Chain A
């Protein structure tokens, strides 16, 4: 098997001392309990592919793709090894060598055809303004919510420009379609009205920060945090728990800001047993929703159960994919938990 992507990461794989600290919090390991399901195991598999000791069998490929890229492993790593990058490279090599997964192909085809993960013509609530705002596929699909969030920005003193956006390309990159990602990157850049934008989606903003060094991606929560304390707003007087999205807490080191915003708008927070940088992943990332949907749902159900156990009826989060995954798990399993986006509460507070 050709391994031109993994070759770039050989040094990083050698730096891994295989201490195993990464499987302490790995959500996939905790669920399946074989070392091949944990981060260390997957790095060893990637190294085996690079050395030519292993071939990309269906079983091995499934292991490499069963990762939600939650970055918990990086937090715990003795040597700060960038494990998701190694797995992304392994996925890219596996795909380059002819691996095909129908679910992955269908998802990417939808983006090819429509510019979003739903494969539907989704019209943005266009608006002239000063700063472009990227809604992201999931919020683009939730038209009424999007409108409220745009209104929220206006109430915070921002003049949003809503434009004909397209997918940031994250699904191509995480599923190993490197060339297609490059093409989607071009489309994304072409559509962007300026070289900076406010992003409402946590996945998009983290991804753009990482993969588009020429663009300035501003996270909406940074903007809210700058303004909320100085403008009149309601106190909502409710009690919720907060699920830290991986890309926010671990990816962007943002733990205190959402909590302080919630406090400011009169929302009492009951913490989940794992929170902040050690928050458990809901399973919504890394393409796990399409690679192994039942596993993603199971991880989300764990969060639902933890939320109910801390005695609240509402869980809020920031990531639209976490929100979707957790809500879906609650509904499918008849759990009485309301799942909202933090933006819903902010929008209500400043309305």
Chain B
């Protein structure tokens, strides 16, 4: 690796090769860890093009990294090489309220963009839970979405176009600035969710929508998990338009109550439902409809409110769930494994039960919660991360859960992407996809330098794919 050459491209201040930096940039929010050889912070498209030309000629891996908040190992450099820290390219280039789009550099943070859009009454709505630090480049790479995806969809629904540096350094301008486009391959759409394996996103044109004027949150408790699952399926099939539909199971409720003392009712399930819009009567209509459906399925409505403070209070149990799970049991850590599968609505309750059974059988703790309005079931595996036996149990649990998800027509990842952690299960579930994806990869990145060994090229065993970031003792 010619570090001096990289320094000459971006300047000495923007290159780090000390082991301390490499160690940090070898990690993200997944369980994996692998070190790059150098970290570079490019400041311009031209610099990225030059880095790509150099890396491509030498066969050196490039991993573009945003906030490093991915949970499946997207930013973990499996083949070493160069990590491109894109956070320096963090400028909002243009906001065009009259045309309802904006252009941004990839390192712009989601919340920063939404703060800038607010005075115009506009929003970029995918907002994953990590929007406070997640970069737009990372969100596009991962096709991120969040709690309101049931109404607003995922990042892919808001990417009109982008500039991408290809593996050989070529710069291409993809997509358009218009709402519709019927002009050739929709390659910008292919880039969304490609996890940095097809190109380096250096600019994005994003569709914007108006901010809703009214928002109302409702809470319903259920003595039976199955009733909650049926209510979710019924709400969606009734044609209702929730802006959020969240489920918490009894383990999640217990975790929040135990660690944060929130005093949530100890029932088998809680559903949080929300509607928003420009006209209050329309929001009222949606809320009433969802209340009626919850009650029809033996739910008890414990609260509804338009008030922002009250909504925050009611939702705090769900919002703080992650913190609660992290401190659920002494000696246990909350690991990002089997954490975001999606299943058909009608299978929500069954899926939650299945998760509990599989966890118990394999000696780990798992909870079920998530954006059920979008079919996303979030889980986390809680276990002593230093205990090798627990990891063996976790591996079995992960495999069994994904086998179940596949058997009911679900998908390995609804939100967090495939990268390393989910690749084995996904490859097993979708063998038909692998060949065509490999052909696309080969066409755009023949030397396999862009985030190599991810997705279809990832190792078949996620546990041995990298060093596990926890100190696993025998």
* A residues in contact (CB < 8 Å) with B: 10-11, 14-15, 17-21, 23-24, 33-36, 40-41, 44-45, 47-48, 50-51, 53-54, 57, 59-60, 63, 76-81
- Chain B residue at minimum C-beta to C-beta distance from A76: B132
Residues in B whose Cβ lies below 8 Å from that of A80: 323, 326-327
Known: A20-B69, A51-B471. A15 touches B334 (CB 8 A): yes
Stretch in contact with the other chain, from B23-31, B309-317, B364-372, B442-450: B23-31
Residues in A whose Cβ lies below 8 Å from that of B334: 15, 17, 79
- Report the separation of the CA atoms of residues A4 and B385 in the bound assembly, to the nearest whole angstrom: 20
B29 engages A19 (CB within 8 Å): yes
Flag whether B331 is at the interface (Cβ < 8 A): yes
Residues in B whose Cβ lies below 8 Å from that of A41: 24
A34 engages B327 (CB within 8 Å): no
- Chain A residue at minimum C-beta to C-beta distance from B18: A59
- Report the separation of the CA atoms of residues A54 and B334 in the bound assembly, to the nearest whole angstrom: 24
* B 131-168 contacts with A by CB, 8 A: 132-133
A79 engages B323 (CB within 8 Å): yes
B24 engages A21 (CB within 8 Å): no
- Chain B residue at minimum C-beta to C-beta distance from A61: B20
Residues in A whose Cβ lies below 8 Å from that of B280: none
Known: A24-B132, A35-B85. A54 touches B336 (CB 8 A): no
- Chain A residue at minimum C-beta to C-beta distance from B260: A80
- Report the separation of the CA atoms of residues A81 and B323 in the bound assembly, to the nearest whole angstrom: 9
Known: A14-B385, A79-B327. A20 touches B68 (CB 8 A): yes
A33 engages B326 (CB within 8 Å): no
B336 engages A17 (CB within 8 Å): yes
Can you sample 26 A-B contacts with CB below 8 Å? A11-B333, A14-B385, A14-B386, A17-B326, A17-B334, A19-B133, A20-B133, A24-B132, A35-B25, A35-B68, A36-B16, A41-B24, A45-B20, A45-B23, A48-B23, A53-B23, A54-B19, A57-B18, A57-B20, A59-B18, A60-B18, A60-B19, A76-B132, A77-B323, A79-B334, A81-B326
> Which single member of B23, B67, B471 contacts A20 (CB below 8 Å)?
B67
A50 engages B27 (CB within 8 Å): no
B130 engages A21 (CB within 8 Å): yes
> Which single member of B20, B29, B333 contacts A15 (CB below 8 Å)?
B333
Residues in B whose Cβ lies below 8 Å from that of A60: 18-20
- Report the separation of the CA atoms of residues A53 and B467 in the bound assembly, to the nearest whole angstrom: 11
Residues in A whose Cβ lies below 8 Å from that of B385: 14
Residues in B whose Cβ lies below 8 Å from that of A76: 132
* B 16-65 contacts with A by CB, 8 A: 16, 18-21, 23-25, 27-29, 39, 41
Flag whether B87 is at the interface (Cβ < 8 A): yes
Flag whether B463 is at the interface (Cβ < 8 A): no
A79 engages B326 (CB within 8 Å): yes
- Chain B residue at minimum C-beta to C-beta distance from A48: B23
The A interface, classified by DSSP as helix, strand, loop or mixed, is helix
Residues in A whose Cβ lies below 8 Å from that of B333: 11, 14-15, 17
Residues in A whose Cβ lies below 8 Å from that of B330: 11
Residues in B whose Cβ lies below 8 Å from that of A24: 132-133
B85 engages A17 (CB within 8 Å): no
Known: A15-B326, A24-B132, A24-B133. A34 touches B88 (CB 8 A): no
Residues in A whose Cβ lies below 8 Å from that of B23: 44-45, 48, 53-54
Q: Which of B20, B323, B330 counts the most A-chain CB atoms under 10 A from its CB?
A: B20
B132 engages A21 (CB within 8 Å): yes
Flag whether B322 is at the interface (Cβ < 8 A): yes
> In angstroms, how far is the closest chain A Cβ from the Cβ of B112?
10
- Report the separation of the CA atoms of residues A59 and B21 in the bound assembly, to the nearest whole angstrom: 10
> Which single member of B24, B133, B322, B386 contacts A17 (CB below 8 Å)?
B322
A44 engages B27 (CB within 8 Å): yes
Residues in B whose Cβ lies below 8 Å from that of A57: 18-20
Starting from the known contacts A35-B68, A44-B23, 7 additional A-B residue pairs (CB-CB under 8 Å) come to: A18-B469, A20-B130, A24-B133, A45-B24, A57-B19, A60-B18, A60-B19
Residues in B whose Cβ lies below 8 Å from that of A14: 333, 385-386, 470
**Residues 319-330 of chain B: 1 if any A CB is under 8 Å from the residue's CB, otherwise 0?**
000110011001
> In angstroms, how far is the closest chain A Cβ from the Cβ of B437?
28
Residues in B whose Cβ lies below 8 Å from that of A23: 133
- Report the separation of the CA atoms of residues A77 and B133 in the bound assembly, to the nearest whole angstrom: 12
> In angstroms, how far is the closest chain A Cβ from the Cβ of B248?
17
> In angstroms, how far is the closest chain A Cβ from the Cβ of B392?
18
A44 engages B68 (CB within 8 Å): no
> Which single member of A21, A36, A77 contacts B20 (CB below 8 Å)?
A36
* B 304-358 contacts with A by CB, 8 A: 322-323, 326-327, 330-331, 333-334, 336
A63 engages B20 (CB within 8 Å): yes
Residues in A whose Cβ lies below 8 Å from that of B327: 15, 79-80
Known: A34-B21, A36-B24, A45-B24. A21 touches B133 (CB 8 A): yes
Lowest 8 CB-CB distances: which A-B pairs, in order? A79-B326, A14-B333, A60-B20, A41-B24, A18-B29, A20-B69, A78-B322, A44-B24
Q: Which of B24, B41, B69 counts the most A-chain CB atoms under 10 A from its CB?
A: B24
Residues in B whose Cβ lies below 8 Å from that of A51: 471
Residues in B whose Cβ lies below 8 Å from that of A45: 20, 23-24
Residues in B whose Cβ lies below 8 Å from that of A44: 23-24, 27
Residues in B whose Cβ lies below 8 Å from that of A78: 322-323, 326
B323 engages A18 (CB within 8 Å): no
- Report the separation of the CA atoms of residues A339 and B11 in the bound assembly, to the nearest whole angstrom: 39
Q: Which of A14, A44, A63, A80 counts the most B-chain CB atoms under 10 A from its CB?
A: A14
- Chain A residue at minimum C-beta to C-beta distance from B19: A54
Residues in B whose Cβ lies below 8 Å from that of A40: 24
- Report the separation of the CA atoms of residues A24 and B68 in the bound assembly, to the nearest whole angstrom: 12
A59 engages B29 (CB within 8 Å): no
* B 410-439 contacts with A by CB, 8 A: none
A18 engages B27 (CB within 8 Å): yes
> In angstroms, how far is the closest chain B Cβ from the Cβ of A12?
10
Residues in B whose Cβ lies below 8 Å from that of A35: 21, 24-25, 68, 85
- Report the separation of the CA atoms of residues A14 and B20 in the bound assembly, to the nearest whole angstrom: 19
Residues in A whose Cβ lies below 8 Å from that of B331: 11
> In angstroms, how far is the closest chain A Cβ from the Cβ of B144?
14
> Which single member of B88, B322, B386 contacts A79 (CB below 8 Å)?
B322
> In angstroms, how far is the closest chain B Cβ from the Cβ of A66?
12
> In angstroms, how far is the closest chain B Cβ from the Cβ of A64?
9
A17 engages B20 (CB within 8 Å): no
> In angstroms, how far is the closest chain B Cβ from the Cβ of A172?
25
B88 engages A33 (CB within 8 Å): yes
- Report the separation of the CA atoms of residues A48 and B471 in the bound assembly, to the nearest whole angstrom: 10
- Report the separation of the CA atoms of residues A50 and B386 in the bound assembly, to the nearest whole angstrom: 13
> In angstroms, how far is the closest chain B Cβ from the Cβ of A17?
6
Known: A20-B68, A20-B69. A10 touches B471 (CB 8 A): yes
Q: Which of B23, B69, B331 counts the most A-chain CB atoms under 10 A from its CB?
A: B23
